Structure 1
Amino acid sequence: MTDSIQHIENIIKIIENDILESKLAFAQEKICLQEFSEIAEAFQYPLIAGGKRIRPLLTLLCAGSIGGERAIQNARNAALALEMVHTYSLVHDDLPCMDNDDLRRGKPTTHKVYGEAKGLLVGDALLTDAFFHLAHTKCKLTEYLKSLIQELSLCSGANGMITGQWLDISLTGKHDLIWEQIELIHKNKTGKLLGCAFVFGYICGLNVLKTDVIHEHFILNKGKLRQAGEFVGIAFQIIDDILDTTGSSQSLGKTAGKDQAQNKTTSVSILGLEKAQNLASEFTEKAYHLLESVFANFPASSENETYKNLLFYQLEQLLVRKY
């Protein structure tokens, strides 16, 4: 376990380094120097604020599970792009027109530091620049690069995260919700970007292999990985609801029972505790099965196996928590 933690921490250092190197660089204009400096600072502010880096980490570990260390290096631009999209969504979520949050990871939110209008622009810049970095992924087939760009757009746009956010806004405060509606929110708002992480890792793994996957299998595997991410996202959110009900504030690191105090509809309030626990386990097992079914198509070298074990270890830390 100690070796796994150390290995994952080393990969996170790679991610952190790539984030730092993504700092905006402008020509040294003599006019508006202060403004250009502020733009560069504001762009980096939410990126370096911290976080678990789950999405880029899953991207790199999934790539390593298929193509080893070379695939991890190939996936770095994709991982950075995904973290930028996730961070943009948080910047926008915090705005007064959305959740109106003052703090994010213990620090003032972006709009609290730079103002609402500039906070909005920071989110816009992160989203747009994500595609710039993604397009620098070295791909041996045009289809692979095209697929990377399509996947990020699909999972973060109207067919993914945006729909989840829209449903969350529309359904918040309603007390006649059914589980299927809550599931749709979690599937899109949380699950789609996690699925994108798996697909990114898959494609970057293929980039370093000597042989190509036939088109039909390529499409099939992408669909499996996308669905695995959706299942992980749903399970994660169910477990969050369970922990809010059963955990202590000390163990959670946040206020326990907050959902109940706010009379918020959750998986536990709809399904009951036992059924919610069973459902979280079911979605977790389905996700694991889909991932294994994709990895089984590739040679199991010792290097690949190491990264696959790290991937499942990280998912276990994310999902299989005591509740």
Structure 2
Amino acid sequence: MLKNSAHIENLLNEFNHVLENYNLKLETNPASSDISNEISKAYMYPLQAGGKRIRPLLVLLTAGAFGGKDGLKTAFKAALAVEKIHTYSLVHDDLPCMDNDDLRRGKPTTHKIYGDAKALLVGDALLTQAFAVLAETQYSNVQNQHYTAYLIQALAKGAGAEGMVWGQWLDISLTGNKKVVWEQMELVHRNKTGKMLGACLELGFICGLSAQKLEINPAQFLELRSLIHEAGISIGLAFQIIDDILDMTKSSAELGKTAGKDETQEKMTAPHLLGMEEAVSLAASQTESALSMLDKVFESFSNEFLEYKSLLIEQIKMLLQRSH
């Protein structure tokens, strides 16, 4: 069995080294060098601000759980793409026209450093480059190169108009509405948070399977992709409920971002709509549901990669039992 904490730390160190040392390949000239230096620094600013790297870690560990070290290696580009998508969403969320936040990961938000318009472009750059990175995925089994189409589809659906963007649209539309009911906010969380986490598990699953030398019929492949995606949505729903609870009960220093902004912006969160006790209970039931769905997916395969499976389950439990 792997030494869990050491293995996770090494994996994250490797990931962060690649993510935080990227150089934009810009066409420029001496007269424009100051401007090219600025965009390069602006692009890297939110990526180098730290963070728990929850989403890429879920991609990598899921890939390891289904494809071992080969699966994990295949998933590295997908993990990078996911973190760029997530970071773009934070840059845009923090803008004055959205959540209007001055603090992210304990540091000034991108628009506080570079201005609103350039922060918008930073987000655009991160979003579009995520798909360029994903398209560079390399496979240990050359015959599985067509899996790239599945990867692009999964990430686009999780991040786009049928996923995170729809959730954000709903969130903006419902903010300040005193008649909001929990069923509406649940739809917000399933899409805004859950579908990207669903995409993370789905990306890892696809990369893991691509590393295996096995035949899986298309119908079963689609069914298992859907099931693991739904498990990720349940994780996301639990995660967001916990996030709302922490926003209500923790300080900005503890969270590394502005605390209490849900109440300030009149957002109808789970604790507000359901009460604290029922919100905690719902987060627990969604966690249990996610783990149950993951077990069903694992049952369809051998237990060849138990160490990564254990790491994945452990990380999910830690994520959904966090206190900050």
TM-score (norm: length of structure 1): 0.92
In the alignment, is the contact (CA less than 8 A) between 2:175 and 2:265 conserved in 1? no
Q: 1:105 to 1:249 in 2, by over 3 A?
A: closer
In the alignment, is the contact (CA less than 8 A) between 1:243 and 1:252 conserved in 2? no
Look up the equivalent residue of 2:34 and give its one-letter code: Q
Inter-partner Cα distance in structure 1 for 2:56 and 2:218: 26
In the alignment, is the contact (CA less than 8 A) between 1:25 and 1:40 conserved in 2? no
Identity %: 50
Is the deviation greater in 156-165 or in 141-150?
A: 141-150
Inter-partner Cα distance in structure 2 for 1:315 and 1:199: 15
Inter-partner Cα distance in structure 2 for 1:129 and 1:256: 31
Query: Does the residue aligned with 1:187 lie in a helix, a strand or coil?
Result: helix
Q: 1:248 to 1:169 in 2, by over 3 A?
A: closer
Equivalent residue number for residue 317 of structure 2: 316
Equivalent residue number for residue 23 of structure 1: 23
Note if 1:232 corresponds to 2:235. yes
Equivalent residue number for residue 97 of structure 1: 97
In the alignment, is the contact (CA less than 8 A) between 1:84 and 1:127 conserved in 2? yes
Number of aligned residue pairs: give it.
320
Per-residue deviation, residues 162-213 of structure 1 (Å, max 9, x unmatched): 0111111110111211111010111011111101110110111012111132
Inter-partner Cα distance in structure 1 for 2:150 and 2:190: 21
In the alignment, is the contact (CA less than 8 A) between 2:235 and 2:290 conserved in 1? yes
Query: Does the residue aligned with 2:49 lie in a helix, a strand or coil?
Result: coil
| Displacement after TM superposition at 1:319 (Å) | 0.5
Equivalent residue number for residue 297 of structure 1: 300
After superposition, residues 67-78 of structure 1 pair within 5 angstroms as 67-78=67-78
Equivalent residue number for residue 137 of structure 2: 137
Look up the equivalent residue of 1:296 and give its one-letter code: E
Inter-partner Cα distance in structure 1 for 2:136 and 2:260: 45
| Displacement after TM superposition at 1:260 (Å) | 5.3
In the alignment, is the contact (CA less than 8 A) between 1:195 and 1:228 conserved in 2? yes
Inter-partner Cα distance in structure 1 for 2:146 and 2:155: 14
| Displacement after TM superposition at 1:270 (Å) | 1.8
Inter-partner Cα distance in structure 1 for 2:29 and 2:115: 24
Q: 1:169 to 1:259 in 2, by over 3 A?
A: closer
Per-residue deviation, residues 205-251 of structure 1 (Å, max 9, x unmatched): 01211113211111111111111111011111222333455x45499
Query: Does the residue aligned with 1:31 lie in a helix, a strand or coil?
Result: helix
| Displacement after TM superposition at 1:29 (Å) | 2.9
In the alignment, is the contact (CA less than 8 A) between 2:176 and 2:265 conserved in 1? no
User: Which residue among 189, 214, 225 is the counterpart of 1:186?
Assistant: 189
| Displacement after TM superposition at 1:25 (Å) | 2.6
Q: 1:263 to 1:77 in 2, by over 3 A?
A: closer
Per-residue deviation, residues 266-304 of structure 1 (Å, max 9, x unmatched): 212222233222211111111001111112222212xx2
In the alignment, is the contact (CA less than 8 A) between 2:197 and 2:235 conserved in 1? yes
Equivalent residue number for residue 48 of structure 2: 48
Is the deviation greater in 277-286 or in 60-69?
A: 277-286
